[in-house]
Structure formats: structure tokens, C-alpha cells
Structure 1
């Protein structure tokens, strides 16, 4: 029997990049997953939490539990939103067994593909030099890849997945796990710093010959794409789900 998955779509994807949500759906269905999109879902509350408005997050967290608790898994094409659920909802659910179960079965999209469905290789062809941006939440909170400040053998299932696609050449960056500078409300409160950090990341990809810039978080890509478009750089930006669905 196919696993029944609740598709959790971040606000900015819903409003600005619906094609990313559709690509995520198509990839999951390709691998035999029974996907539902609960239309009553709302924001996870991350913007409010980032600005210290934790009281405003509580009703959203409780609504999230009610909407998604009945699924075999919850999958989201955003490491930051998944991290919000798995690492920042606990204060609202002390000793709540239902939430503990939901937290354990909430996954970032590629984490679900590689570690639950155990997809390690992909058919298809994508003849481009691809630059992988490792977003901070996915890297340092969800531990989806190794970070440079931690000793130990390197790992990263998304990198392995991309390398399995015919025609993909991965860019060799000088600083492979540096922040893009977006940080949600940080980009508003510290605009100049945010833009300088983003420009540094774009320059690193440019010197590496990146043709297609991808990541697990459309929020980071939104920030970088704005810089790329304003500076008229010859780099195409695609969420990882868009690359995978094009291959499939």
C-alpha cells in the first residue's frame, strides 16, 4: 500500500513559486506516493518566531498538528519550514505524544526521497553545470549534509542524487556551505549586509562556472535570484524539485 503523505507547502512557494509545489507533487507521485494537499494549511509561523512574536506562533503550531497528524508522513520542499516544526514547536507541545509522532515523520522533500523512499539514483538527463547551495537550516539544524566546521567524514544525499543524473557536473565552490544572507526578516532588518552576503554567494558560483543554481530552500534561491537578475548574471535558478521533475 502506498504511503499517504501530507504535502506541506511554504507560503512563499504557494504565493510566488507554485511550480515548485507542483514539481514536488509530481516527483513524489512518480515514486508511488499517495499525496494529499490539505487546503486548510497555513503559515508555519516562522516569520513571527524570527521576530520574537512567539505567542502568535502557538495557534499556528496547534493548527499544523491538527491538519497533518493523520498522515504517514509530512513532506515539505523547504528545509527552513521543516526545521521550524522539528526544532521550534516543542515549547507549545510539552509531553504531547501526538506532536512527538508528527515531528518524527515530518521531512524535507529530498530527505524523504533519499532516506525514507531510499532513492539513491535518478534516470534522465540534465546536461548542465549545477551549483548546489546548502541552506543553513537544512545544513545545521536538519543535518542534511556535512558542514565545514564539524569534523568527520563528508556526507550529503542530495549531492549524491544530483551526481547520479546523466549530464550533471557539480560546481566546485570556494565556500560550499556559506549563508546566502537571506535569513527571512534579516533581509529586511539588515538589507545591506544581506545583499553583500548574497553577492558573495553569487560570485562564488560565477567563478565556479555554475549554469544552474539549485537548493532545497526556495527562500534562499529567491534572494539569490533577485541579485542575479538585477546584475544580469547568466545563471539560471531552479529548486531541486524542478531539476528532478525535468529529469523524470
Structure 2
């Protein structure tokens, strides 16, 4: 019997990068996973939380807990998302948001926290997959470790293992791969000059490798870097891991 997962599509992925969400579904189904999507889902609450509006963030988070409450018959069902940023928010910041809530609410929070996974850590850590059958993309790539993936979720080897299993694709590590891209949500708005300078540094390191593609687990990072790349008309294409794994078949 196939594993059933509930997918969480972050608001910015839904609005700006829906193809990445569809590619995640494509990959999961390719690996025999049954995908369930709750159309009532919205946001994890991270924008409000990062801006310091914790009561508003808690209200959004409460809806997230309701939307992803596990069915009684399948209490351990996984939640999978193409965003380490949102997964990190749920796993870590929800603990603070619900610290003063009733025991039942805290229990619901812990239930979601233990079931939520970023896509690549689910594929490698739960399914034991290190390559997606048929995945093919010619060229060289360099990988950007997003702050949320690396520092909040402890994700490092899994995306590289999967990408290295893509036929025709060669990895070249860039300098300072774990350095922040400069996005940081509202940080990019409040500190524009610093944010752009950090993006420039990251892109320059990527270009030094001679890579064709800059790949990451987080489209928020890629959106920020891609805007700089396009503004400067640079020869580098940004791709989410799911987009690469869904290529060629």
C-alpha cells in the first residue's frame, strides 16, 4: 500500500512558482507516493512572525494546525513541503508561538511538528531514495545551502545526493555555499543595499564555478538571487530541486 502524504504549498510558491509545486507532486507520484492536497491551506505564518507580529502569526499558525490535523486512522501521516523555510518555521518557531496555549493545542502543535518534512529530507530520509528514475538534465550545477535548510532543519547532504543522481548533471561546489543569500524576507526590504550586496556575492561565487544552474531547496532564496541575475543579465539559471528532479521525463 503506497504512503500517503499531505503536501503543504507555501503561499509564495502557490502565487509565484506553482510549477515547482506541481513538480514536487510529479516527483512524489513517480516514487509511488499518494499525494493529498487540502485546498483550504494558506500560510505558515512566517511573514507575520518575522515582522514581530506574533499574535497575528499565531492565528495563522492555528489555521495551519487545523488544516493539517492528521486523520484518526493515520495519525503518523507525513506532511511534505518544497520549502525548508516554512518547515523550519513550523518545527522551531511554533514551539514559542504555542508555549502559553492549552495542553491540547500544544499537543496538536507537536503532532504537526513531528510530521512535517522538507521534500529532499523526506525523499532521502523517509523513502530512502537517492535518485529519481528518469531524471535527466545536461549541464553543471552549483548548490546554495539556504539558511533555513542548513541551520533550522539540518539539511545538507540530501539535496546533493538527489541532484547527483540526475543523469547528465555535474556538481561543482561554490565558495561559501552556506553563506546567506541576503533575502531574509523583510530583511531585503528594510536593508535593501545590504541584501543586494549579499546576493551579488553569492551569484559571483556561483559564476566562478562555471555552473549553468544554481539550485536550492528554497524558492525564496532563488527568487532573490534570480532577480539580481536577470537585472545584470548574467548567464546563470536558478532552479528549485523539485524542478531538476522532474526534468527529462
Deviation at 1:98, TM superposition (A): 2.6
Q: Could you say which residue in structure 1 is the equivalent of 2:48?
A: 48
Distance in 1 of aligned mates of 2:95 and 2:30? 34
Other structure's SS at 2:234 match = coil
Structure 1 gaps of 5+ residues are 146-155
Q: Could you say which residue in structure 2 is the equivalent of 1:130?
A: 141
Distance in 2 of aligned mates of 1:158 and 1:216? 7
Distance in 2 of aligned mates of 1:179 and 1:216? 13
Deviation at 1:23, TM superposition (A): 0.3
1:30-53 alpha-carbon deviations (Å, 9 max, x no partner): 111111111111111111111100
Q: Could you say which residue in structure 1 is the equivalent of 2:115?
A: 105
Deviation at 1:247, TM superposition (A): 4.0
Q: Which structure 1 residue ranges, 4+ long, deviate > 6 Å from structure 2?
A: none
Of 80, 83, 93, the residue aligned with 1:78 is 83
Tell me if the contact between 2:120 and 2:162 (Cα under 8 Å) persists in the aligned partners. Answer: no
Q: Could you say which residue in structure 2 is the equivalent of 1:203?
A: 204
Say yes or no: does 1:118 pair with 2:128: yes
How many residues get paired?
238
Taking structure 1 as the reference length, the TM-score comes to 0.92
Q: Could you say which residue in structure 2 is the equivalent of 1:150?
A: none
Deviation at 1:131, TM superposition (A): 1.1
Tell me if the contact between 1:8 and 1:76 (Cα under 8 Å) persists in the aligned partners. Answer: yes
1:134-170 alpha-carbon deviations (Å, 9 max, x no partner): 100100110012xxxxxxxxxx121122122222111
1:190-237 alpha-carbon deviations (Å, 9 max, x no partner): 000000000000000111111011100000000000000000001111
Say yes or no: does 1:143 pair with 2:150: no
Structure 2 gaps of 5+ residues are 72-76
Tell me if the contact between 1:171 and 1:205 (Cα under 8 Å) persists in the aligned partners. Answer: no
Structural mapping, 1:181-200, within 5 Å = 181-200=182-201
Q: Could you say which residue in structure 1 is the equivalent of 2:74?
A: none
Q: Could you say which residue in structure 1 is the equivalent of 2:213?
A: 212
Say yes or no: does 1:66 pair with 2:77: no
Distance in 2 of aligned mates of 1:122 and 1:34? 16
Moved more, 36-45 or 183-192: 36-45
Distance in 2 of aligned mates of 1:246 and 1:54? 40
Tell me if the contact between 1:123 and 1:166 (Cα under 8 Å) persists in the aligned partners. Answer: no
Q: Could you say which residue in structure 2 is the equivalent of 1:2?
A: 2
Other structure's SS at 2:183 match = coil
Taking structure 2 as the reference length, the TM-score comes to 0.92
